[in-house]
Amino acid sequence: MSSTTRRLCRRPAAALALVLGATALLASPPPQPAAAAPSGREPALAQWIDRDTVVWKGAEHRAARLESGTRGAHLRLVPGRLSPSERLAYPHLTHYPAFTVDPRDRALARTALRDALHATQRTADGRRTTTGVQIPGVLDDLYGTRARHAALGPVFARDGRPTLAVWAPTARTVVLELGGRTVPMHRDDASGVWRVRGARDWAGKPYRYRVTVWAPSAGRTVTNEVTDPYSTALTADSARSLVVDLADPKLAPPGWSGLAKPAAVPLRRARIQELQIRDFSAADRTSHHRGRYLAFTDRHSDGMRRLRSLARAGTSHVHLLPAADFATTPERRADQARPGCDLASYAPDSDRQQDCVTKTAGRDAYNWGYDPLHYTVPEGSYASDPEGTARTVEFRRMVQGINGAGLRTVMDVVYNHTAASGQDPHSVLDRIVPGYYQRLQDDGSVATSTCCAGTATEHTMMGKLVVDSVVTWATAYKVDGFRFDLMGHQPKANLLAVRAALDALTPAKDGVDGKSVILYGEGWNFGEAADDARFVQATQKNMAGTGIATFSDRARDAVRGGSPFDADPRVQGFASGLYTDPNSAPANGSPAEQRARLLHYQDLLKVGLTGNLADFTFTDSAGHRVKGSGVDYNGAPAGYAAAPGDALAYADAHDNETLYDALAYKLPPRTAPADRARMQVLALATAALSQGPALSQAGSDLLRSKSLDRNSFDSGDWFNALHWNCADGNGFGRGLPPAADNKDKWPYARPLLADPALRPGCATIRRTAAAYRDLLRIHATEPAFGLPTAAAVQRSLSFPLSGKHETPGVLTMRLGNLVIIFNATPHEQHQTVPGLAGTPYTLHPLQSHGTDPTTATASYTRPSATFTAPARTVAVFRRG
């Protein structure tokens, strides 16, 4: 997404809030309202940012004090000012009054922090004002240096004895509940870590921590029974943590220690297939493990045959939607609700299917998984048995299966928010160190711009959790890449720490080559952290040059048309007929307006094909010499990358309508099925043939539809499942999509879903998939698509017909010894390229002898250097 509307944390319907992202989400986020303080919760307008300093919004700059509950610790505050380093660390607090803790009272800080804490002041007119106090900064100052190096969770010594450790510096007491007994834990005052060393027979036993702590959200001291944030295994429904050593040989499937991976590819050459674990096999009748990790071990299933064919064509990675433990899907199959209707009996444009599906939402087996509960344990609902360590073994077997198919594995990770905060049962972190792990607004309320309770990865121990978790997935589960959800809500420094930790992993020492692990994420800029308000964010512009890619929404919007937030979904783009094949929707404007917008979209696509390079210089559609950064994208620079690999291209992902559904809305209703399929391939080609990494949603090459559902995170198997067998259709016409996110589009959707011409047959689906594989093979076999530097791209890539020679709806790109024609118009097009007269070119053999007979008719006239491309076709020509 610049970001796109998307998966929601699962909550009661009345409380649902849109999540932003783009999918490779997909659209730029609209402005988000500030979170309101929870009802009954005392505001916390004072922030104790280090042992010396308190900042208090709304206070008078006069004497005040901190009062610590029943322990009677009072710390005097005198008017002060922020130091330069404090101003740098807390830019959003620089305009508030600052106070210095009286040196005589600083020794009381550790005691004060383990009780109810308030800031009080007598104002000039004699009134007494009181507010709660935010404490993350001072906790980092007092404990962070030692705690950041602590080994947390269950850690096994060579003698087989485990040590359990949890960071809880504000807790009065922490007790271990192990099996049916309690065991005292010991506090290290320097780090705030509580530990206990156990016996060898603790292995495999369930445990929780009993934490007695002041909870601002409850306004009282509470005793919470809570699982371990550093859990390595769980019982069913995440009720208890398990004392498990991930290095235990019993948890390693056969062949795990010597797992042979496909050869690593640099991020700039990665071609990634995004899919959800349940979607992959839920409707695959040839799989023996439908909806589970083990479906990836069914070598002869339709789904695995499809993955192998994509790998042979040039796909390098499978990107799995979140598979770490999430909060709300019942993990035992017996507890999972199923729709109680004959869904197949209803009309393709009926509202009955969605009504039936939504009645079981929140109780069924389906969820995208963006409601994280435990960050470093595989989700139990995908395991054959959620009780115990089957999920660990089976996740590893899934990785083996994917690697065996010729693909590397990427995990979608969601460190930017938790499923809940405060005293909610699905809150883990906030019930151990209340008010620390969640990002708080200036009034003490939890920031929710991500959709859910945001995390403060800028705080030492939340940042440490991210690094430790990623390293565990990379070493203990041999994951080959990570996609960071809403990465722009995290500090750039935290992502660089992840990169550094991975780079330090070696096959000899850790069993993996950490440098081959790829990283990318959603660099959207919005919410309380926007515009580097609190720290330098991991946004698109800030991550340039780091080796960590960000999704680029620029070309995505240009190729599809409009944005994911358009009230009218018929707004057209380059691959959906803008100007060249208008659909008559008033939202598209006059013919002159359409032509101007189409030419600007073509400039955005040119920048996208370079890998979104900021300094790439070319001639735009108006005939001006510009840089990528000089092309406008909704007020932001279109080009922001420093090198190929900084920006990730995509035309669709799990967020928003699938590409097929978007084109169903946007293409003229009369468009024939074969022409819709050709436009699908053309749209996919703008990402597949770009510099830098590219991602596509699983099934897009099969014209995958979700029956026009724009946010299917909770829409069940009926709307989401992949149909590998074309005889089962492509998912279009399975009823009106769920009302919660789609009802305003139902008037546009009804006539489309009722039209049988929009449900493609097997021949059309097979031709589309084959044409896409041809493009992947071309990318994989032509070195010019993987140029290593911005300078190399500038030397090798050009758009020779820009400016006065530019044809609306046609892009001509010259790349090394290749010329690529993207003809999005409904007519054959002739492109005469200056400077090539007499130079021999032929259609690329993978197309001239490929699977698409229409593309095979593309031709080149040598004397005039004229390239001819059929309607709605991408044609690649090679010199010689």
By the 8 A CB rule, do 324 and 377 touch? yes
pLDDT band at 40 (very low <50, low <70, confident <90, very high): low
pLDDT > 70: what percent of the chain?
95
CA 583 to the chain's CA centroid: 33
Q: Is the pLDDT of residue 838 over 80?
A: yes
- Compute CA distances 590 → 579, 587, 622, 634, 733, whole Å: 9, 9, 19, 20, 32
Categorise residue 595: left if φ over 0, alpha if ψ from -120 to 50, beta otherwise.
alpha
Q: Whole-angstrom Cα distance, residue 273 to residue 265?
A: 15
By the 8 A CB rule, do 209 and 178 touch? no
Output the CA torsion sign for 702, 707, 708, 712.
negative
Best CA proximity match to 551, nearest among 15, 69, 3? 3
Q: Is the pLDDT of residue 27 over 90?
A: no
Task: Note the pLDDT of residue 705.
Answer: 98
Q: Is 800 helix (H, G, I), strand (E, B) or coil?
A: coil
Amino acid at 791: A
Tokens of 236: 């069913």
Per-chain mean pLDDT for the chain: 94
Of 522, 603, 709, 806, the active-site residue reads 522
Q: Is the pLDDT of residue 14 over 60?
A: no
> Per-residue pLDDT averaged across 75-104, rounded?
97
Q: CA angle, 701 as apex, 777 and 724 as ends, to 5°?
A: 115
Q: Give per-residue pLDDT as tens, 451-496.
A: 999 999 999 999 999 999 999 999 999 999 999 999 999 999 999 9
Q: Is 364 helix (H, G, I), strand (E, B) or coil?
A: coil
Q: Whole-angstrom Cα distance, residue 759 to residue 764?
A: 10
3-class secondary structure for 228-276?
CCCCCCECHHHCCEECCCCCCHHHCCCCCCCCCCCCCCCHHHCEEEEEC
Q: Whole-angstrom Cα distance, residue 693 to residue 688?
A: 8
Tokens of 644: 């190929």
Q: Is 789 helix (H, G, I), strand (E, B) or coil?
A: coil
As beta bridge partners, residue 6 has 19
Q: Is the pLDDT of residue 97 over 80?
A: yes
Tokens of 826: 């409904």
Q: Give per-residue pLDDT as tens, 125-181.
A: 999 999 999 999 999 999 999 999 999 999 999 999 999 999 999 999 999 999 889
- Residue written as tokens 């830019």? 91
CA 598 to the chain's CA centroid: 29
Q: List, in sequence order, the alpha helices (H) in 289-367.
A: 302-313, 352-360
Q: Whole-angstrom Cα distance, residue 366 to residue 344?
A: 19
Q: List, in sequence order, the alpha helices (H) in 102-224.
A: 109-112, 136-139, 145-147
Does domain 275-329+365-551 fall into CATH 2.30.40.10? Answer: no
Q: Is the pLDDT of residue 450 over 60?
A: yes
Buried b (16+ CB within 10 A) or exposed e, 552-588: bbbbbbbbbbbbbeeeebbbbbbbbbbbbbebebeeb
What is the chain's length? 880
Q: Is 608 helix (H, G, I), strand (E, B) or coil?
A: helix
Q: Whole-angstrom Cα distance, residue 525 to residue 449?
A: 11
Q: Is the pLDDT of residue 26 over 60?
A: no
Q: Give per-residue pLDDT as tens, 611-621.
A: 999 999 999 99
> Per-residue pLDDT averaged across 513-532, rounded?
97
Residues 6+ apart with CB under 8 A from 661: 705, 706, 707, 708, 709, 710, 732
> Per-residue pLDDT averaged across 709-720, rounded?
97
Q: Whole-angstrom Cα distance, residue 874 to residue 28?
A: 28
Tell me, what DSSP letter sits at residue 141?
I
> Per-residue pLDDT averaged across 530-548, rounded?
97
pLDDT > 90: what percent of the chain?
94
Residues 6+ apart with CB under 8 A from 67: 73, 74, 117, 118, 119, 120
The verdict on whether 342 is a catalytic residue reads no
Amino acid at 619: T
Q: Give per-residue pLDDT as tens, 579-605.
A: 999 999 999 999 999 999 999 999 999
User: Rounded to 5 degrees, what are φ and ψ at 846?
Assistant: -70, -10
Task: Note the pLDDT of residue 70.
Answer: 58
User: Rounded to 5 degrees, what are φ and ψ at 633?
Assistant: -130, 95
As beta bridge partners, residue 67 has 74, 118
Tokens of 287: 């799989």
Q: Whole-angstrom Cα distance, residue 142 to residue 169?
A: 10
3-class secondary structure for 15-40?
HCCCEEEECCEECCCCCCCCCCCCCC
Tokens of 645: 């690999």
Q: Whole-angstrom Cα distance, residue 768 to residue 852?
A: 9
By the 8 A CB rule, do 416 and 539 touch? no
Q: Which of 5-9, 20-24, 106-110 has the lowest mean pLDDT?
A: 20-24
Q: Is the pLDDT of residue 91 over 80?
A: yes
Task: Note the pLDDT of residue 30.
Answer: 36
Q: Is the pLDDT of residue 340 over 50?
A: yes
Tell me, what DSSP letter sits at residue 737?
P
Q: CA angle, 595 as apex, 589 and 598 as ends, to 5°?
A: 100
User: Rounded to 5 degrees, what are φ and ψ at 196?
Assistant: -150, 140
Q: Give per-residue pLDDT as tens, 632-684.
A: 999 999 999 999 999 999 999 999 999 999 999 999 999 999 999 999 999 99
Q: Is the pLDDT of residue 49 over 80?
A: yes
Residues 6+ apart with CB under 8 A from 334: none
- Residue written as tokens 């609209």? 30
The verdict on whether 379 is a catalytic residue reads no
Task: Note the pLDDT of residue 41.
Answer: 72
Same-fold call for 46-141 versus 150-245: yes
Amino acid at 37: A
> Per-residue pLDDT averaged across 101-116, rounded?
95
Does domain 46-141 fall into CATH 1.25.40.20? Answer: no
Q: Is 399 helix (H, G, I), strand (E, B) or coil?
A: helix
User: Could you give the dihedral angle defined by the CA atoms of residues 447, 448, 452 and 453, in that order, rounded to the nearest 10 degrees?
Assistant: 10
Amino acid at 47: Q
Task: Note the pLDDT of residue 69.
Answer: 82
By the 8 A CB rule, do 211 and 182 touch? no
Q: Give per-residue pLDDT as tens, 378-415.
A: 999 999 999 999 999 999 999 999 999 999 999 999 99
pLDDT band at 38 (very low <50, low <70, confident <90, very high): very low
The end-to-end CA distance of the chain, in Å, is: 40
Query: What is the third-level CATH fold of 150-245?
Result: Immunoglobulin-like (2.60.40)
Of 298, 485, 741, 852, the active-site residue reads 485
The DSSP bridge pattern shows strands 317-320 and 417-418 to be unpaired
- Residue written as tokens 């660089």? 496
Tokens of 570: 């018929």
Residues 6+ apart with CB under 8 A from 422: 38, 215, 217, 218, 430, 431, 434, 446
Q: Give per-residue pLDDT as tens, 555-586.
A: 999 999 999 899 999 999 999 999 999 999 99
Beta strands in 57-184 (DSSP E): 64-68, 73-80, 98-101, 117-122, 128-134, 153-156, 162-167, 173-178, 181-184
pTM of the model: 0.95
Q: Is 496 helix (H, G, I), strand (E, B) or coil?
A: helix
Q: Is the pLDDT of residue 13 over 50?
A: no
Residue spans of the domains in the chain: they are 46-141, 150-245, 275-329+365-551, 797-879
Domain 797-879, CATH: 2.60.40.1180
Task: Note the pLDDT of residue 15.
Answer: 29
Output the CA torsion sign for 125, 126, 132, 134.
positive
Task: Note the pLDDT of residue 42.
Answer: 85
Burial of 510 (0-12, 13-18, 19+ CB in 10 A): middle
